[in-house]
Amino acid sequence: MNVALFGFMGVGKSAVGRILAERNGLRFVDLDAEIEARAGKSIPSIFEEEGEAAFREIEKTTALEVAARDRQVIACGGGTVLNAESREGLSKTSRMILLTAEPAAILERVEAEGETRPLLQVDDRIGSIESLLAARNPHYIRAADLIVDTTGRTPQQVAEDIMNLIGEEL
């Protein structure tokens, strides 16, 4: 079995995933990093040079390949589970854990990480976060086995929340 952490940008999927993997002797796989390795360039460069549709295609192929392996904690990208094939592939082999956070917390975290999110390179970032969240939330919720809120919590605390919920399965 795998654990797939998914949800919006800035909810802590990678930070929490790394801790969860280490504490449970599982391999940590960051889907964005796998995509970058496969494409040989950064996500902003893929968006800029090839466009979002090409990125989504690489993302789907990568998600399906990773989902076919076992004993991993997979940190998805914010858009990964919006693709039906990726969502189904991941759901077959993984406990699907949705991480959530308030828009202000998301903004604070993504700004702290610099210019790495092409979808948030806009003037009204909080407005963008809110409208993307409104469009995505129903899909996120439908894909989730469990939902864990991360607002005001550290990655360690969130990893512990998850272990309390599914620790025996790991």
Query: Which is nearer to ligand S3P, 31 or 162 (by Cβ)?
Result: 31
Among 87, 95, 117, 153, binds ligand S3P (CB under 6 A): 117
Contact 31, 2 (CB under 8 A): no
Q: Rule CB under 6 A: which of 119-158 touch ligand S3P?
A: 119
Dihedral (CA of 16, 20, 23, 25) sign: negative
**Residue placing its CB nearer to ligand S3P in the complex, 23 or 136:** 136
Closest contact distance (angstroms) between CB of 38 and ligand S3P is 13
CA distance 11 to 110: 9
Binding range to ligand S3P, per CB under 6 A, among 60-68, 94-102, 116-124, 147-155: 116-124
Cβ 111 to ligand S3P shortest distance, Å? 13
Torsion sign over Cα 115, 133, 12, 93:
negative
Residues 68-97, interacting with ligand S3P (CB under 6 A):
77-79
The nearest distance, CB 87 to ligand S3P, in angstroms, is 14
* Residue 108 parent element (H or E): helix 103-112
Does 118 interact with ligand S3P (rule: CB under 6 A)? yes
What phi, psi does 4 have (nearest 5°)?
-110, 120
Sign of the C-alpha dihedral, residues 121, 123, 126, 128?
negative
Of 4, 20, 29, 43, the one binding ligand S3P by CB under 6 A: 43
Contact pick of 5, 17, 19, 32 for ligand S3P (by CB under 6 A): 32
Question: What number of other Cβ atoms are within 10 A of residue 67's Cβ?
Answer: 25
User: What residues contact residue 12 under an 8 Å CB cut-off, 6+ apart?
Assistant: 99, 101, 109, 150, 155, 158
Size of interface with ligand S3P, in residues (CB under 6 A)? 10
Interface residues toward ligand S3P, by CB under 6 A: 9, 13, 32, 43, 77-79, 117-119
